[in-house]
Amino acid sequence: MATATAPAPARSYAFRDSMTMLRRNLTRMRRYPSMTVQIVTLPVLLLLLFVYVFGGAIGEGIGAGDRGDYVNFLVPGIIVMAVTYGTIPIAVSVCSDMTEGIINRFRTMAISRSSVLTGHVLGNMVQIVCILALVTGVAYAIGFRPNATAVEWAAAMGLLLLLAFGLSWLSAAMGLRAKTVESASNAPMPLTYLPFLGNTIVTPESMPTGLRWFAEYQPFTPINETLRGLLLGTGIGNSAWISLAWCVGLALVGYLWARSAFRKGAER
């Protein structure tokens, strides 16, 4: 039994340590729910604003139909936007770990190094799932009526989780690079503005040429297109593949950036 008591290498603890860190982050979210509430409020407010204030006019303008039809056009984009808002908390929590000194405690312990960030990303994913459930619930209440099958729902969920995963890593990297918690909470903001410059609120056809070109080629447009297709049965075309490529690309860039920022952080 000597082998059982010998200290195992840190690698074999990667899963256990990540789960420990995930538990820690979930407890933190429960203790500080105002962050999650704040984050869920923003997309819900936007949804209500665009449906009830602008909805009648925009629906007519882009040829989507009346207010009721516009809800169906808008909601998938708002759900995607909710994912972008949902990644703000991870930048904040990662940055506060870095600036408050607890990271140095973790770094001087024989734990799996990656578990610190993995725990944050997994915690953020749980948070985003809660946010998405709430936003979708509100959308339902105001008349969102998808016609998706179980498989389509699962595919939509998969796409959103993949997007959340990529943006989470990206936002974690921003949190690692930020010097203060305040700047960390602002760093992911551009990600939340990007959907506006796409097909979230209106169709890009109504935009001036330069902006239209940007709107058509930026990542959130094919993602919105795919989600609409899955939930409402509109045409997807090759958007699904483009979305997947974007999501995988974002995840890769985010992960590598976060990993290198985490290593550099040790020398700070």
**Residues of this chain that bind other proteins (CB under 8 A):** 7, 9-10, 13, 16-17, 20, 23-24, 27-28, 31-32, 100-111, 266-267
Q: Among residues 25 and 224, whose Cβ is nearest to other proteins?
A: 25
Q: Pick between residue 53 and residue 266 the one whose CB is nearest to other proteins.
A: 266
Q: How far is the CB of 246 from other proteins (least distance, A)?
A: 34
Query: Min. distance of Cβ 157 from other proteins in angstroms?
Result: 29
Q: Where does 74-158 show beta strands of DSSP type E?
A: none
- The answer to whether 188 touches 171, Cβ cutoff 8 Å, is yes
> Is the Cβ of residue 17 or residue 225 nearer to other proteins in the bound state?
17
Nearest to 178 by CA among 101, 51, 93: 93
Report the distance separating Cα 161 and Cα 120, nearest Å: 15
By beta-carbon proximity to other proteins, the closer residue of 113 and 212 is 113
In whole angstroms, the minimum distance from the beta carbon of 134 to other proteins comes to: 22
Burial class (CB in 10 A: 0-12, 13-18, 19+), 101: exposed
Q: Considering the complex, what minimum distance in angstroms separates the CB of residue 3 from other proteins?
A: 16
Q: Is the dihedral of CA 122, 245, 85, 98 positive or negative?
A: positive
Closest approach, Cβ 224 to other proteins, in A, equals: 35
Nearest CA-CA partner of 222 in 240, 248, 197, 195: 240
130-153 burial, b if ≥16 CB within 10 A, otherwise e?
ebbebbbebbeebebebebeeebe
For residues 136 and 79, the answer to whether their CB atoms sit within 8 Å is yes
Name which of 15 and 140 has its Cβ closer to other proteins.
15
Closer to other proteins at the Cβ: 107 or 179?
107
262 burial class (0-12, 13-18, 19+ CB within 10 angstroms)?
buried
Least CB distance from residue 109 to other proteins, whole Å?
A: 6
Nearest residue to 73 via CA among 57, 55, 88, 85: 55
Q: How far is the CB of 36 from other proteins (least distance, A)?
A: 13
Tokens (6 digits) for 119: 């725990």
Complex with other proteins: residue 31 or 208, whichever CB lies closer:
31
